[in-house]
A and B are shown apart, each in its own frame.
Chain A
Amino acid sequence: DTGVSQDPRHKITKRGQNVTFRCDPISEHNRLYWYRQTLGQGPEFLTYFQNEAQLEKSRLLSDRFSAERPKGSFSTLEIQRTEQGDSAMYLCASTLGRGYNEQFFGPGTRLTVL
């Protein structure tokens, strides 16, 4: 399967714990995006990377959130001191790069904060 993959698919954690999600984009894609989707809503942009550089962050991305893409391939999204309001589906998407708009999404990581 050469699509976008995400791990884990589901994560249940207790409030206050830290969690980390991983995204592996399509291999030749150098842009990678993170979105958050709450129940009954469309995905909302969080941040994106051009290769290893994080170039844009949404105001939704509080100080408790950090994302990395150290070698320009896979990316991680960490949430520190999770809150119940962080419960959502975290989606990763990738695209070829500048000038290409088609974004292909992974299956998402469903986070539940108890």
Chain B
Amino acid sequence: QQQVKQSPQSLIVQKGGISIINCAYENTAFDYFPWYQQFPGKGPALLIAIRPDVSEKKEGRFTISFNKSAKQFSLHIMDSQPGDSATYFCAASKTSPPEETSGSRLTFGEGTQLTVNP
């Protein structure tokens, strides 16, 4: 069961352009939505994250837009640079209350390979 669906699978943009990656989730209990950046041979690095109580969060060139009713969220990379070329993963998790043993496991999307041409 794929609980987080990500698109597109690959994306090519020109330097200075806007990169947009979309994700949709099914589990309405999810309350934390991070984006990770991964370079070949490296572990995922946390980029930016959002909770459902806000519709947008911006950090530098990275913006998350969140639509709770549609159960969708997206990552926008403004002024894309060749150094942004990497694989991007959206993810989702549910914050577990203190009395529960279930951890806040991350459920990842399939990934988007971004290439920014110079």
Contacts and interface: CB of A to CB of B under 8 A. Distances in A.
Interface of A: 4, 6, 31, 33, 35, 40-45, 48, 50, 55-56, 91, 93, 95, 98-108, 110
B44 A45 contact: no
A42 B42 contact: no
B101 A42 contact: no
Nearest to A100: B104
Interface of B: 6, 32, 34, 36, 41-46, 49, 89, 91, 93, 95-98, 101-111
Given A40-B110, A40-B111, A55-B102, 8 more contacts: A42-B110, A43-B89, A45-B106, A98-B96, A98-B97, A102-B46, A105-B43, A107-B42
Contacts of A40: 110-111
Given A98-B96, A102-B34, A41 B111 contact: yes
27 contacts: A33-B105, A33-B106, A40-B111, A42-B89, A42-B91, A42-B108, A42-B109, A42-B111, A43-B89, A44-B108, A48-B103, A48-B105, A55-B101, A56-B105, A91-B44, A93-B106, A98-B96, A101-B34, A102-B34, A102-B46, A105-B43, A105-B46, A107-B41, A107-B42, A108-B42, A108-B43, A110-B41
A99 B44 contact: no
Contacts of A43: 44, 89, 106, 108
Given A40-B111, A101-B34, A101-B93, A33 B43 contact: no
Given A31-B103, A55-B101, A105 B44 contact: yes
Contacts of A33: 103, 105-106
Contacts of A100: 104
